[in-house]
Structure 1
Amino acid sequence: MAAHVPGTERHLTLSPWCFAHTDQAACEDLSLSDNTPQRRTAAMRSCDRILSGVRPATMRERLAALDASGDLDGLPDFYGDGPVTALEERVADLLGTEAAVFFPTGTMAQQVALRYGADRTGNRTVAVHPLGHQEVHERHAYAHLSGLRSTWPTTVPRNPTADEITALADPVGTVVIELPLRDAGFVLPSWSELTAVSAAARAIGARVHFDGARIWESVPHLGHALSEITALADSTYVSFYKTLGGISGAALAGTAELAAYARVWRHRYGGMLFQQWPAVLSALAGLDRELPRIPDHVRHAPTVATALTALPGARVHPQPPHTHQFRLWLPHPAQALNDAALALAEEEKVWFAAGWRETDVPGLAMTEITVAAPALEWTAEDIAEVGERFLRRAASHRG
């Protein structure tokens, strides 16, 4: 496919059951004037039962959790030493890489990875999916900051195949694989597909970069250890606040050469902060507490998804889910569903699902479901019973 020039793209028209493209600001616009993020957060915190997501923590609760970890008696970091070094070594060990470098944001980490690929290969074209994080959520930073351009191996809502990488018309420096591909419904390739696409990328002289913001929950579906997965890539980015519940932060893992390059460019991009110990300690806590729980969340996701598909007019993708997250569609306007979610939370202290977005099909809305610790208490019967009450409320708000 021809190289992509950022800013000239058109939104893809895909099946509404597979993709509904809306940014966060547009999502917020769907709410009634008094159905604000602050009100929804307060309502969710007051709920006794939560199906999708986790109860938002206050700043005091987050500080108390750090205090309970027993790590606050040490000295803070100074420009990347101390606890930052400990986290980097922990991540490199988990992923089986020579080194890892902490970044304040994943966007910064990924730009450094793509720049490194361009510098090392001499090729400034990146193969990335049009639904990938770089295209949808990073404002094309790879182009504006590093002068790179993208080519799309496929527009099908899944990661590219080995054949599609082999068929690229343009030479590329880096092939990006997002695990899972969030904006296609948190979908993953099979292990054989992943190994094949990695080999195909290297056969055309390209580096392989894994956007592994959610790689932690990809392990059950792929059926291999984290270190075996990352061995298929030349670099891997991981997030500490997605899934692990950290305050913020990310890491870029790979060779010692990549790490040395990343430290230089982290400083140049403004990521060499004086102290980052709150984010770092929360990331370490997430690795200790949340990472071991993820397989339970993934195992329960099919139960939740199957129960939701039994609701009138509901659709789920993928079915079964590949991770503990998936997409749900219901035949109601997004505003009615968001208002129903808020009313159910405030009046019955039950959080079902919010964040509904309009799709290309009038009257059909979509949201993302996250099966975390609170959802483990829900049976299929619980979901059916609460779902019926939720839809009754949606119908009344629609009217």
Structure 2
Amino acid sequence: MATYGAQPDAVERTRQRRNAAAAASERVLSGALRPPMRETLARLAADGAAVYDLDDHPDQYGTGAVRALERTTAELLGTEDAAFFPTGTMAQQVALRVWAGRTGIGTVALHPLAHPEVHERGALTSLTGLRTVHPTTEPRLPSADEVRELDEPFGTLMLELPLRDAGYVLPSWAELTATVAAARERDAVVHFDGARLWECTPHFGRPLPEIAALADSVYVSFYKSLGGLYGAALAGSADMIAEAGAWRHRYGGMLFQQFPAALAALVGLRTELPRLASYVECAGPLAAALREGLADAGLEWPRVHPERPHTHQFQLWLPYPAAVLDEAAVRQAEQSGVSLFGRAPFSEPGLPGLSMIEVTIAASALEWTPADVREAAGHFARHVAEVLAEQPPGGAQDAR
């Protein structure tokens, strides 16, 4: 959410109020609410027994439950091996560094909206000395022709599936296979940023191993869609993962004990992974109902992107200041016990006054019908009108 000079304590109070309203709501459409720590620990102990022997000793530097998670991940993706990393940022830095060493080319082709370019504070260049080139700046994955015609050599093509900052967008299966083939024509290796790869199978109509087989290495996250505590895995050939393990040690990723994260990830793979397809199936009708409900209630220009979501996540755009929309969302949750957007805030990523929020259709959303969403959207629109009417001359930015 844009703050326009608001003091940090005011920003924190707004965040706490939004979180409290979402937690107290009887119904929440978007996102997964994280329970308190006591409940989280109790659930982990209860659910962990179904995925691992809790009488076993805790892991030490990657043994036990951590190694079990690595083997399970490799099996699910159809790769020879996998390595657990505390963060996806570290996993991908290591993967791209390994491939640069093997290809002898320190240039990575990727989208300018890809995670290393937007969310890692320049780590790829600062820590590895690699440089990046962009086959396209369009808000989508690069095409085969764009990869084939890129006017300088690159050693690795990195594809983020889905491309989150463009709206969780995916290519078609034919487009993806053609783009990978174009990289192979240029003797480049292919790495998938698959932080959210788990939920891509409905769109592609292919199982995880067939998708992962297109790439030389794949990174997956255990907390973004699976509800884990933290952590990621890098999957690929046995020799590549062995080399990645050496770099993981150098990067400080060999933690003494990580069994809570490993157990939570194993639980997520057992319980949440099978549900993701149902979330994707619901996302289309609920996204349409959200857009229709807002438009019918008189809000200007509500847009869902993609219009038909490619996964269970999508963007909602509205031409109002983020502060107005956040206040309306909190009031709706506080007064009715119904929260459309959960803990997520609106932001203004481009023009001031044009706001966007990411919507995630997960377990709580399965209780909603399209009619429920349209009704709640109408109530939200009335709160937006109410907040706008309270704004002093100059608008919501001055009010802050």
Give the TM-score of the pair, scaled to structure 2: 0.91
Paired amino acid for 1:344 = Q
Relative distance call for 1:33 and 1:241 in structure 2 (3 A) is closer
Paired amino acid for 2:366 = L
Give me the whole-angstrom Cα distance separating, in 1, the residues matched to 2:353 and 2:23.
Answer: 29
User: Which residue of the other structure, out of 255, 276, 301, is the alignment partner of 2:258?
Assistant: 276
Partner of 2:83: 101
How far 1:379 sits from its partner (Å)?
1.2
Alignment of 1:1-399 (within 5 A): 33=11, 35-69=13-47, 70=49, 71=52, 72-310=54-292, 311-312=294-295, 313-353=301-341, 354-399=344-389
Q: Residue 191 of structure 2 aligns to a residue in which SS?
A: strand
Deviations 1:93-146 (A, max 9, x none): 000000000000000000001001100000000001000001011112111111
How far 1:195 sits from its partner (Å)?
0.6
Give me the whole-angstrom Cα distance separating, in 1, the residues matched to 2:257 and 2:3.
Answer: 31
Give me the whole-angstrom Cα distance separating, in 1, the residues matched to 2:302 and 2:76.
Answer: 38
8 Å CA contact 2:283–2:309 kept in 1: the answer is: yes
Paired amino acid for 1:105 = T
The answer for unaligned runs of 5 or more in structure 1 is 1-21
Deviations 1:69-113 (A, max 9, x none): 214322110000000110000000000000000000000000001
Paired amino acid for 1:242 = K
Deviations 1:240-262 (A, max 9, x none): 00000000000000001111111
The answer for unaligned runs of 5 or more in structure 2 is 296-300, 390-400
Relative distance call for 1:204 and 1:33 in structure 2 (3 A) is closer
Relative distance call for 1:141 and 1:26 in structure 2 (3 A) is farther
Q: Once structures 1 and 2 are overlaid, which stretch shifts more, 42-51 or 103-112? A: 42-51
Give me the whole-angstrom Cα distance separating, in 1, the residues matched to 2:333 and 2:69.
Answer: 37
Q: Once structures 1 and 2 are overlaid, which stretch shifts more, 99-108 or 376-385? A: 376-385
Give me the whole-angstrom Cα distance separating, in 1, the residues matched to 2:216 and 2:353.
Answer: 44
Deviations 1:192-223 (A, max 9, x none): 11111111111101110000000001110011
Give me the whole-angstrom Cα distance separating, in 2, the residues matched to 1:228 and 1:33.
Answer: 45
8 Å CA contact 1:179–1:218 kept in 2: the answer is: yes
8 Å CA contact 2:3–2:11 kept in 1: the answer is: no
Q: Aligned pairs, how many?
A: 377
Partner of 1:3: none
Partner of 2:396: none
Q: Residue 326 of structure 1 aligns to a residue in which SS?
A: strand
Give me the whole-angstrom Cα distance separating, in 1, the residues matched to 2:183 and 2:246.
Answer: 27
Relative distance call for 1:340 and 1:35 in structure 2 (3 A) is farther
Q: Once structures 1 and 2 are overlaid, which stretch shifts more, 83-92 or 336-345? A: 336-345
Give me the whole-angstrom Cα distance separating, in 1, the residues matched to 2:7 and 2:135.
Answer: 33
Relative distance call for 1:387 and 1:290 in structure 2 (3 A) is same
Q: Once structures 1 and 2 are overlaid, which stretch shifts more, 53-62 or 356-365? A: 356-365
8 Å CA contact 1:185–1:326 kept in 2: the answer is: yes
8 Å CA contact 1:190–1:222 kept in 2: the answer is: yes
Give the TM-score of the pair, scaled to structure 1: 0.91
How far 1:236 sits from its partner (Å)?
0.1
Relative distance call for 1:30 and 1:160 in structure 2 (3 A) is farther
How far 1:31 sits from its partner (Å)?
11
Paired amino acid for 1:342 = V
How far 1:360 sits from its partner (Å)?
3.1
8 Å CA contact 2:194–2:218 kept in 1: the answer is: yes
Deviations 1:35-55 (A, max 9, x none): 532222222111110011122
8 Å CA contact 1:31–1:338 kept in 2: the answer is: no
